[in-house]
Amino acid sequence: MQNEQYTPIDSPFTSIKREDWKKLNGHFTHTFAQQDLDQLHALNEPLNAEEIEDVYFPLSHLLGIHIERFHDLHKRSNLFFQKNESRLPFIIGIAGSVAVGKSTTARVLQRVLALLPTKPKVDLVTTDGFLYPNKELNEKGIMNRKGFPESYDAKKLIQFLSAIKSGVGSVSVPVYSHLAYDVLPDDQQQIIDHPDILIVEGINVLQVNSQRAKKGHNSVFVSDFFDYSIYVHASEKNLLEWYTNRFESLRNTAFQDPASFFHRYANMNTKESVQMAHQIWNEINKPNLEHNILPTRYRADLILEKGSHHFVKNIKVRKI
């Protein structure tokens, strides 16, 4: 059953504590300035050089090994088929709950992977752009389920990934505005043009439509296009705390902008703000986490487990 939280008895994962993981870095020595750190982390998501060095340098080293094998397989396939086809992008999927810090993970990984010896071109796409526009969500009667699987244009997202994995050069991607809380017009799309590595970040990128599968439909899932997948995990208690803190910070900053979709919350006091954050979490984010996001955790190749201060404390890696 999709809703069951599967915890393997004989685990297909190797669990590595942070202090042991950080020793696995083989060749990264780059130093990040405070300005770099400020550009990489999201609101209320602390990030320091130690987190990058201890967690993301070894992770990039591991991914570099997979990418090298991916390139080697491409060369061997060209020899076997007697062709000279161009190499396709290596696609990394990043999943996890709202407020867990996926966007920071994705941006840091993008920056660190670009430091690999081959200096690859690394692009980043968030699946927020593939949400149906608010107008369509209202027409479908699912505006209150924004972020749930049915609120995404899965067909458009799969068409995008299919184009990337078919070797199509320049591909357009819709862009989402968190200020407007809506997808931007087509003339403001992101262009993805021949990346060596593509990172795809989103809450439901590892989710499968089990209902369609049960009905006998031939289904293609977003994760079918991934060459490697990462799940960012934290306890529900921490997630609620982080979401509430972020909501309160936004109330004092972005929500003050009259153009913000959430401007109506700008004049709330702290108590009202906390109550509203908890209400949104309990009515939308928690059910989505429990029914759609968390059950996909063990579909990932690697799990980053965070502690109470937003820093990674443990890493689970799928055995090979």
Start-end of H helices in 172-235: 210-214
The candidate with the shortest Cα–Cα distance to 221, out of 206, 231, 203, 201, is: 206
Reported as a pLDDT band with limits 50, 70 and 90, residue 2 is very low
What would you measure as the largest C-alpha separation in the chain, in angstroms? 68
What average pLDDT does range 46-57 have in this prediction?
Answer: 89
Please tell me the distance from the alpha carbon of residue 89 to that of residue 161, in angstroms, as a whole number: 10
Q: What is d(CA 36, CA 46) in angstroms, rounded to the nearest whole number?
A: 13
Mean pLDDT computed over every residue of the chain: 91
> In whole angstroms, what is the distance from residue 3 CA to residue 193 CA?
37
Looking at residue 216, its pLDDT comes to 53
- For residue 209, is pLDDT > 90? no
From start to end of the chain, where are the E strands? Answer: 13-17, 90-96, 122-126, 170-173, 176-177, 182-183, 190-193, 197-201, 228-233, 302-306, 312-318
**What pTM did the predictor assign?**
0.92
**What is the distance between the alpha carbons of residues 210 and 212, in angstroms, rounded to a whole number?**
5
Tell me the mean pLDDT in the region 220-239.
Answer: 96
CA distance 76 to 90: 16
Residue 286 CB-half CA count within 13 A: 14
> Within 10 A of 168 (CB to CB), how many other CB atoms are there?
13
Residue 39 — pLDDT band, cuts 50, 70, 90?
A: confident
Q: What percent of the chain has pLDDT over 70?
A: 92
**pLDDT at position 1:** 41
| CA contacts within 13 A on the Cβ side of 91 | 22
Which pLDDT score, from 0 to 100, does residue 168 have? 93
User: Angle 180-184-189 (CA atoms, 0-180°, nearest 5)?
Assistant: 145
Please give the Cα distance from 116 to 113 (Å, whole number).
5
Domain 13-318 matching CATH 3.40.50.2000: the answer reads no
Residues 134-181 have pLDDT tens digits of 999 999 999 999 999 999 999 999 999 999 999 998 999 999 999 999
Per residue in 274-314, pLDDT (tens digit) is: 999 999 999 999 999 999 999 999 999 999 999 988 999 99
Vertex 182: Cα angle to 179 and 186 (nearest 5): 115
Whether the predicted pLDDT of 191 surpasses 90? yes
Per-residue pLDDT tens over the stretch 92-105: 999 999 999 999 99
Residue 3 has pLDDT above 80, yes or no: no
- The answer to whether 174 and 186 are in contact (CB under 8 A) is yes
| pLDDT for 212 beyond 70 | no
Q: Where are the domains of the chain?
A: 13-318
CA distances from 13 to 59, 187, 307 (A): 15, 44, 19
| Residue owning tokens 């799990």 | 303
pLDDT in tens, 62-88: 999 999 999 999 999 999 999 999 999
Which pLDDT score is estimated for 172?
96
Q: How far apart are CA 111 and CA 129, in angstroms?
A: 21
Contact 108, 185 (CB under 8 A): no
| Confidence at residue 25, expressed as pLDDT on a 0 to 100 scale | 82
DSSP characters for 79-123?
HHHT--PPPPPEEEEEEE-TTS-HHHHHHHHHHHHTTSTT---EE
